[in-house]
Every structure is written in structure tokens, then in C-alpha cells.
Amino acid sequence: MTIYNSQLNRPLLLVEAGVFGIALAVVGDITHFTWWAVLAYTTSTVVQAVWPKSPEARQFDIMVTVISVFVTMSVPVLSLVKCSLFADALRDNGVTVYSVGNWLLHYWPSARMLYRTDLHVGPRTYDAARLFALYCATQKPQLVYGCPATLTQSVVLGAGILVLFLIERVLF
């Protein structure tokens, strides 16, 4: 039994899930894919604490890992294409809150999922790509993130699904 899945670690997983769950309830915004990823991460953390060895938990962790890595990769890309969300968040929250919040929402879940998920093992389901397609069908990411008009819904959807497929192919 690994240290990560030990009985001693399970209460810590529930505390971590509780912290992210509170953040979701207090400041979460369903129009942002990051919050969809945080909800998936929080759910995965609870599942790891309660049913760590189940095949369903393993399959769910694959999807959550891919989504988390996708979110981590998206932050610099959205900044490079001049989406205004991050500059607005920095202005509205100040450097400290922005930096800590940005790291916790966009980088912590990836680090944790990459640490706890067995890579290169398991079936590829492309569930992460399906979840992103659902997000794009219900939201307008280019507007949510304040991106330039050249970043259309079709571009976001197509590029996002392609990147999600590639992440899953590389990791699993």
C-alpha cells in the first residue's frame, strides 16, 4: 500500500476536498471551465478517500488528470492571446490574492493528480474532451475569458478537443 492511499491520508483528502468544496460554493463560477475542473477534482479527491481502489475511481481520475493538465496549459495560452480575464482578476483582487488563487485553482490540481494517478495505465476514454465539448455547448468561452474576436467558439472547441486528445494520448 502506498503512502498516498494509506488510511492516515484519507482524512487529509477529505479536508482538501472540503477546502475546494467551500471555494466552489463561495466563489465558484460555472461559466468558467476552471470551476468545472475544480468540481471534478474535488469529486475525485472524495472518491480517492472513500473508494481508492475501485475501477470507476481509476477511470474518473484519468479524466480529472487530463482536465487538470489542460487547465494548467490553458492559463499561459489565454494570457498569450490577450484574453482579459487574468488581467481583470489581478486588478480586482490584488497581487497576493490573485497569485495564491491562480496557483490553487490552475496548478495545484494538476500537481496532485499527476502525483496520485498511475500514468500510462488504463483505457483511454476521452471523457475530458467530451466534458469540454459540453462546456463549449453551454458557455461561450471566448466571451467568458474576454478573448479577442478572432478566437471564435469553433476555434476554442476544436483546439480544446485536439489538445485534450493529445494530453490523454501522452499521459495514458
Report the C-alpha dihedral over residues 42, 85, 90, 112, rounded to 10 degrees. 30
Look up residue 107 and give its three cell numbers.
496548478
List the chain pLDDT tens, one digit each, 172 residues: 344 556 768 999 999 999 999 999 999 999 999 999 999 999 999 999 998 888 888 889 999 999 999 999 999 999 999 999 999 999 999 999 999 999 999 999 999 999 988 888 777 889 999 999 999 999 999 999 999 998 899 999 999 999 999 999 999 8
Which backbone phi and psi does 139 adopt, to 5 degrees?
-130, 170
Q: Give pLDDT, residue 120.
A: 81
3-class SS at 3? Answer: coil
Q: Is the CA virtual torsion 68, 160, 139, 73 positive or negative?
A: positive
Length of the chain: 172
Q: Give pLDDT, residue 2.
A: 46
Number of Cβ within 10 Å of residue 48's Cβ equals 27
Q: Give pLDDT, residue 52.
A: 83
